[in-house]
Structure 1
């Protein structure tokens, strides 16, 4: 709990800004503005990567994650649905993680639940990403096999597939 109460309108507006920043980062591949929307002491819980505190831990993680395959082939992170909890200052949403078109228009993705806690003034003080990592591995393998079938599998994906499919 943040100890603050935010209006629904304030949460909706703040989260719209959050989504715009994430969308811009996905398109420009510049992850710094994404990190900068968190408070300096942000608590980021990522079930596969662990718990990170502050920009100094979150920033290198997001850059590495999103600029290394398969994250580097994810094109956007739209929310499929969201719930606003004014009393806790939280937004809970399901985020989609679609990968690039492998060459035939196929969309392959996996989803996660994110719980973000608003701190006020356009900043977020906590995020928790909840998902099954095996679903992301399965989606990525499916993408790799489709790209391989189409003759569009990049070397970085082939190397990833060789490691994971052992």
Structure 2
């Protein structure tokens, strides 16, 4: 099987993708990130379902990243990546650290993402694989720490009350 895309092209496209995600995380403007997908992208998010096309991904990511706990995640760096030239995929572990609750504590959860390259800097598929309970646990830990430090905001407090009964 001959690889459709070179390792260098895959690596460069993923580096650009990561830079765009970093800019989106900082600015909270997710449209540029969505623009890195093909118009007919398939996005598999195990806890939220499968989305088809940018028009389904865009409102989902805006909602996810504008409400707790997503709104308190500061960046999404790849901890490691595997470039699979034969399939045109990047497989990576992404970190999802939450903002400092006030004492320098880093609270995070990770996920595995598989992104499939379509060429021209666009990705045709992404699948995020993770244990949702690890994310709930990390968010609850953040809420408890923020409450201890007096930095728990109303949105996070309401989430903690709804999900776990208290923070």
Bin of the TM-score, shorter chain as denominator length: over 0.9
Matched, 1:109 2:108: yes
- Residues 77-98 of structure 1, C-alpha deviations (whole Å, 9 max, x = no match): 0000000001100000000000
Q: In structure 1, list runs of 5 or more residues that go unmatched.
A: none
Count residues with an aligned counterpart. 164
2:93 and 2:37 map into 1 onto residues whose CA distance is 19
Residue number in structure 2 paired with 1:149: 148
Over aligned residue pairs, what C-alpha RMSD do you find?
1.0
1:75 and 1:135 map into 2 onto residues whose CA distance is 17
Q: TM-score, normalised by structure 1?
A: 0.97
Q: TM-score, normalised by structure 2?
A: 0.97
Equivalent residue runs for 1:126-137 within 5 Å:
126-137=125-136
Residue number in structure 2 paired with 1:20: 19
Equivalent residue runs for 1:12-91 within 5 Å:
12-91=11-90
Q: In structure 2, list runs of 5 or more residues that go unmatched.
A: none
Query: 1:129, CA displacement in angstroms?
Result: 0.1
Query: 1:5, CA displacement in angstroms?
Result: 1.5
Residue number in structure 1 paired with 2:162: 163
Partner SS, residue 77 of structure 1: coil
